[in-house]
Amino acid sequence: MDADTPPPEVLDELFDTIEDRKETLPEGSYTASLFTHEKGENAVLEKLGEETTETILAAKDDDREELLAESADLVYHLLVVLAMEEASLDDLRTELRDRF
Ligand SMILES: N=c1c2ncn([C@@H]3O[C@H](COP(=O)(O)OP(=O)(O)OP(=O)(O)O)[C@@H](O)[C@H]3O)c2ncn1[C@@H]1O[C@H](COP(=O)(O)O)[C@@H](O)[C@H]1O
């Protein structure tokens, strides 16, 4: 890992921030708006679908920069869904490890 590579904890920090936004619902937070949306969980589930499609299209286009940007959007929205459904990043890690 070189000096510019972010540590793996970046995902934990993002998930902790999402959990904080869920609890405190600060004004102007996009994350908070997903937890209070009038469409309920459908709002974030729709975003998850959109970001999945955009990730697929970027991969098909061999557009590496776009692929990384859309993948980041996809992972972020997936973490919001996990937080919304009372699941955690540790639960996800456990699920993945149990498949080793
Ligand atoms: N990682 C993200 C992140 N990734 C994507 N997004 C948002 O997800 C949306 C993606 O939607 P689109 O690509 O369709 O772009 P858009 O056209 O702006 O979207 P809409 O108009 O449809 O909402 C954008 O509004 C992005 O800002 C994110 N919003 C917040 N975070 C992180 O979440 C944390 C909390 O941020 P706040 O919610 O701003 O407090 C911080 O660490 C942020 O960096």
Half-sphere exposure of 74 (CA within 13 A, CB side): 16
Q: Is residue 2 part of a domain?
A: no
Question: Do the interacting molecules here have an ipTM over 0.95?
Answer: no
Q: How far is the CA of 52 from the centre of ligand 1 (A)?
A: 15
- Ligand 1 pocket (Cβ < 6 Å) reads 14, 17, 21, 29-31, 73, 76
Number of domains in the chain: 1
Query: Does residue 5 form part of some domain?
Result: no
* DSSP secondary structure code for residue 36 in this structure: S
Mean of per-residue pLDDT scores for the chain: 95
Predicted TM-score (pTM) of this structure: 0.93
CATH (domain of 15)? 1.10.287.1080
Residue identifier of the C-alpha nearest atom 17 of ligand 1: 47
Q: Which of 79, 47, 83 is nearest to 55 (CA)?
A: 47
Per the domain annotation, does 4 fall within a domain? no
Per-residue pLDDT at 1 = 61
Q: Classify residue 30 by burial, with Cβ atoms within 10 Å: 0-12, 13-18, 19+.
A: exposed
For residue 73, what are the domain limits? 10-21+29-97
Report if residue 74 sits inside a domain.
Answer: yes
- Assigned domain for 17 exists: yes
